[in-house]
Amino acid sequence: MAYNLKQELQKPERFVGGHRLCAGCGAGVAIRGVLRALDPADKAVITNATGCVEVSTFLYPYTAWTDSYIHCAFENAAATCGGVEAAYNVLQRKGKITDNFKFITFGGDGGTYDIGFQSLSGAMERGHDMVYVCYDNEAYMNTGIQRSSATPRFASATTTPVGTVEPGKRQYKKNLTEIIAAHGVPYAAQTTFVSNFRDLHEKSRKAIYTKGPCFLNVLAPCPRGWGYPEEDMAEICRLAVETCVWPLYEVVDGVWKLNYIPRSKLPVEDFLRLQGRFKHMFQPGNEWMIADAQRYVDHQWDVLQAKCQ
């Protein structure tokens, strides 16, 4: 089915306004884009790990979700989704349910890369027919901007503050999309929302309508944690892609495919400069940090291109 933005925007919203996500937050945009890939006739069960999205979109009896919604703990969102999917299969076999349901989990990087990784890995390995979507804002934003394993090297966070001794976070960002692809799942992909929503939509649809466990990693900037003006959200996503900090690719049945190759790969400092969490990298004497970041991105890009050949 060819992507048609006008047609997609005419679908009823499944994630509605009135939530309390911050202005300029990428998570809400990502979730709307993912859910828009559902066919209107299909129903969904959403499980959601504790985090920014949970506290901002669901406060009983108020909800921003039009589908069935389950708030889970940090560590068990994927396990909960897998359990509901298993129960649905039993009810279908017994003829007690005839509606077509899809099962989708949303979690931030804290509940995905770190605390929830064991249940995510287990759900992927067991083969549940579900989609796990990580809205990756690269830190524990809900609890005070603490570093996570998704936080990039040199980023300033409340638990990795920049000072005379520490340069910010010392470790590189974990490559979770690659780790999930290594589980042998039928579909894993990395995406974000850039100048249009085609990439996000097409990958969301593939993930939702591919049988078996699927994974989407969506870069979702956070204005408070990243330190950017609210209106710069889309530009930061664009620069993440154009600098190859966040490449757009997918792994389909073990075959790696690049979805976008920049015509002229921009320097990584173009992405870093717009964000307050990296401002110390541009101070005199810290040029080595930018050089280190560029070397790392270049190496990761070369490795990814080799896999996709």
- Tokens of residue 112, six digits: 């995905």
Average confidence (pLDDT) over 198-219: 97
> Three-class SS of residue 295?
helix
Place of tokens 């006739």: 41
CATH of range 10-308; options 3.30.930.10, 1.10.10.10, 3.40.50.970, 3.90.1150.10? 3.40.50.970
Choose among 25, 48, 52, 24: nearest CA to 35: 48
Write down the pLDDT at residue 18: 87
Write down the pLDDT at residue 1: 66
Residue 196 has pLDDT above 80, yes or no: no
Query: What is the strand order of the sheet 187-191 is part of?
Result: 68-72, 43-49, 101-108, 131-136, 214-219, 187-191, 249-252, 255-258
Residue 2 has pLDDT above 90, yes or no: no
Beta bridge pairs of residue 63:
58
Residue 195 has pLDDT above 70, yes or no: no
pLDDT tens profile 141-152:
999 999 999 999
Long-range pairs for 34-38 at CB < 8 Å and ≥24 separation? 34/104, 34/106, 34/133, 34/200, 34/204, 34/216, 34/218, 35/67, 35/104, 36/8, 36/9, 36/11, 36/201, 36/204, 37/201, 37/204, 37/205, 37/208, 38/14, 38/102, 38/208
Residue 95 has pLDDT above 70, yes or no: yes
Write down the pLDDT at residue 4: 87
Percent of the chain with pLDDT over 70: 99
Choose among 189, 107, 113, 115: nearest CA to 151: 113
The answer to whether 169 and 158 are in contact (CB under 8 A) is: no
Average confidence (pLDDT) over 118-122: 98
Average confidence (pLDDT) over 82-97: 97
Write down the pLDDT at residue 194: 74
The rounded mean pLDDT for the chain is: 96
CA–CA separation, 72 vs 47, rounded Å? Answer: 7
